[in-house]
């Protein structure tokens, strides 16, 4: 089932997600729904808080579903290592229509549980490292807009507030 994606300003997006206690049928349904929602959006990643569920779960697929081995599911993820720095423009399914250059690690290693509850570790460089950091930020209640400073952040937040007042957000 494709779930609605929450937008910047929704309380669920701005709070820290809780760990998953057990991999149940409900968690498996959430993962399946998140994958379908991510592909339908389309996006390369999606965190559970973006669909209104404050749990530490994210999915990433840089191939947008074209490579069956490209899908990464992380439950209760944590960083093992982050190195380097990259500056690239990114957007977010919860901040549609806005992009900005954000500092991210060049390399990131994340460890978590897969859908069956087995622990696994994935290393990403470039765009995958960026996606890992972006989705981990969602689990901590941070959106890319929150990482911006100065006028760039102010302009985006003002435009979002204006759209919200007009009923278009």
According to the model, what pLDDT value does residue 94 have? 98
- Total number of domains in the chain: 1
Q: What is the CATH number of the domain that holds 74?
A: 3.90.45.10
Question: Known catalytic residue: 81?
Answer: no
Domain assignment of residue 102, yes or no? yes
Q: Is residue 6 part of a domain?
A: no
User: Nearest Cα to 99, choosing from 51, 152, 63?
Assistant: 152
pLDDT value at position 68?
A: 84
Give the CA dihedral 157, 162, 165, 169, nearest 10 degrees: -70
Residue 72 confidence (pLDDT) above 90: yes
Options 78, 81, 123, 135, the catalytic residue: 135
Q: In this predicted model, what pLDDT tens digit does every residue of 76-113 receive, in sequence order?
A: 999 999 999 999 999 999 999 999 999 999 999 999 99
E strand intervals along the chain: 45-47, 57-60, 72-83, 86-91, 99-104, 107-113, 119-125
């Amino acid at each position: 089932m494709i779930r609605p994606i929450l937008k910047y300003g929704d309380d669920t997006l701005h709070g820290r997600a809780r760990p998953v206690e057990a991999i149940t049928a409900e968690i498996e349904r959430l993962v399946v729904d998140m994958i379908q929602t991510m592909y339908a959006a389309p996006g390369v990643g999606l965190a559970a808080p973006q669909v209104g569920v404050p749990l530490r779960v994210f999915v990433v697929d840089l191939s947008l579903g074209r490579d069956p081995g490209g899908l990464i599911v992380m439950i209760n993820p944590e960083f093992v290592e982050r190195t380097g720095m990259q500056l690239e423009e990114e957007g977010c399914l919860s901040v549609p229509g806005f992009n900005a250059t954000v500092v991210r690690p060049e390399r990131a290693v994340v460890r978590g549980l897969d859908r069956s509850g087995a622990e696994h570790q994935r290393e990403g460089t470039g765009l995958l490292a960026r996606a890992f950091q972006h989705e981990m930020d969602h689990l901590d209640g941070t959106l890319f807009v929150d990482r911006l400073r100065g006028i760039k952040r102010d302009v985006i937040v003002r435009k979002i507030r204006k759209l919200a007042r007009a009923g278009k957000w």
